[in-house]
Amino acid sequence: METKAEVVDLVAFDGTLGAVPAAPIEALPVELPRERQRRRANVWALSCATTDLAMLLTSWVAATAAETALGGARTPFVWACVLDAIALALLARNGLYAYTSSIRTLDAAAAIGRSMVYAMVALLALDGVVDGPLSASHILTLATATGAVLIFGRLSFYRAQLRGRRVGEGLRRTMILGAGVVGHLVAKRLLERPELGLLPVAYVDDDPMPRDRTGDLAVLASTAEIDALVHEQDIEHAIFAFSAQPDPHLAKVLKRCEELGVTVSVIPRMYERTPSRLEIDHIGGLPLFHIRYADSRSWGFAIKHAIDRVVAAVVLVLMAPVMAVAAIAVYRSLGAPVLFRQRRVGRDGRVFTMMKFRSMRAGDASIPEAERLTRTGALLRRTSLDELPQLINVLRGEMSLIGPRPERPELVEAFERSIHRYDERHRVKSGITGWAQVHGIGRGSERFGDTSLSERVEWDNFYIENWSLWLDAKIVLMTILAVLRFRQDT
C-alpha cells in the first residue's frame, strides 16, 4: 500500500484554510467514529428512558395523591408497574429510544399516544383474565393521565435538545459528497436548520462544478482523502449528494465510510418526485421502488374538503363576535369597505375572489407596505385575524383550510414561466395556511424572490404528494402555535 503522505487543501465553512495529511488506512483510528456514534446513541437512549421513568413515577405519585384526596379506589402499585412496563416496551418498539437526527415532536407525541392506547387494551385484557381490581373506567383514566404525562416529559426533553442544537451543541460533523447544486442546497438547508443535528464541515468532490455555481464555499477534498478527512475533521456523518463520479466508485466510498464508522445518508435521483410513501421490491439484488403519490381526486381528499366546510362553518359561528370587533376596528381606521377582495388562482387554475380584512391604506403600490399598514392592520396581521374572512371562501368550496397559498393571476402567469414546477401547486385547493407557511417560507418582504418562490414550490409540492389527515393535523397545530407566539410576519 502507498504510504507516502499526501496533502489536500481544506477550506471549512467558516472560511479557514488548513492542510489535512492523508494518512495510511491502517494508521487511522478506525473505531473512533463508531465508538462516538455508539456513545451518542447510548446517552440518547438513557436520557429518554430516564425522562420517561421520571414521568411515570410522577404520574403514579400524582394519581395516588388525587385518589386519596377524592376518596376513590387507589391504583395498586403492581398494576401501575404493569401498565408502565407495557408502555415502555411499546415505546421502544416504536423507535422512541433510538437516536435520531431529525426530532419530530408531534410525530413522537402521536407515537406515545398510540402506545398508550395499546397498553390500555393490553391491561384491560389482563384485568379481565385474572379478574383484577381495576374497572374499565379506572384503567382508561390511568392510561390517559400516564400518556399525557409521558408526552409532556418527552416534549420537554426534545425542546431542551433542540434549544441546545440551535446554539451548536451536540451537532454531528458532516461531510457532503458532491459539490454541485444539490450539494450546495444540502449545506444551505443544514446551516439554516441546526435543529436537524448535522453540521456541514466539508465538501468532497473529485470533479466539482465551478465555484460560482456552488456559492461562497470551496470544494475541500477529493474522495481519495476520505480517511484523512474523517480523522482530522472528526466526521460522524456523510451525505451523498449528486456527483460526477461513477456509481461503482461512489459505492466504494460509501463502503469505506461504513468501515470508518461514519453513518451515511443518500439523496436519491429524481428526489423532487420521491414521496414518503414508498414500497420496495427486490429483483435479485436490485431494489425496485414503487412510488405512491397522494391522489388529489381520491376519497381521502373528499373527506378533507367535507371537514373543511364543517370546521369553517363552526369557526365562523364561534368567531363571529371577534370578526365583528375586527370589522368595526377596520372601519374606524380605514373606512369602507371593510373587506379586501382580490382575484386569486386556485385548484386547476380556476380564478376566485379571495377575501381578507383590510389592513393597509389605499395608495401607490410602489410605496412600501410598512408605510401603508395601519396600527389596526398590523395587529390583525400579527394575530392572523385578517385571514378569518377566507373561511367564507372555504365554505363556498373555493379554498381549503390547508393548502398552498394562492396568488394573483398575473403573478401566476409569470411564475409558471420562471419557477420550476410552480404550476403543480394548483393540483389541490389553495389554503388559508400550509406546510410552507408553518415553516416560515413564503412570508415577509422577500416572498416574491426567486429563491423564496422556489422553496415555497418545493414545500407545497411535498405537501401535495405526501398529504394525509395526520399531516393536516400537524399543520393545524403548528399554525396555532405560530399564531399564539405572534410569529406571523407583517
Which residue intervals of the chain bear CATH 3.40.50.720? 1-267
Q: Is the pLDDT of residue 313 over 90?
A: yes
pLDDT in tens, 450-463: 778 888 999 999 99
**Percentage of the chain exceeding pLDDT 70:** 88
Work out the number of other CB atoms within 10 angstroms of the CB of residue 164.
Answer: 15
pLDDT in tens, 50-82: 999 999 888 888 877 877 777 766 778 888 888
Show the cell assigned to 24.
Answer: 495510511
The domain defined by 1-267 folds into: Rossmann fold (3.40.50)
Dist CA 189 CA 243 (whole Å)? 18
φ, ψ for residue 315, nearest 5 deg: -65, -35
pLDDT in tens, 385-441: 999 999 999 999 999 999 999 999 999 999 998 888 899 999 999 999 999 988 888
Dist CA 267 CA 358 (whole Å)? 44
Q: What angle do CA 381, 386, 391 make, to 5 degrees?
A: 140
pLDDT in tens, 17-32: 333 333 343 444 445 6
DSSP E strands: which ranges in 326-402?
339-345, 351-357, 400-402
Residues found in the chain: 490
Q: What angle do CA 226, 227, 229 make, to 5 degrees?
A: 65
Question: Higher model confidence: residue 270 or residue 19?
Answer: 270
Nearest C-alpha neighbor of 98 from the set 52, 172, 44, 161: 44
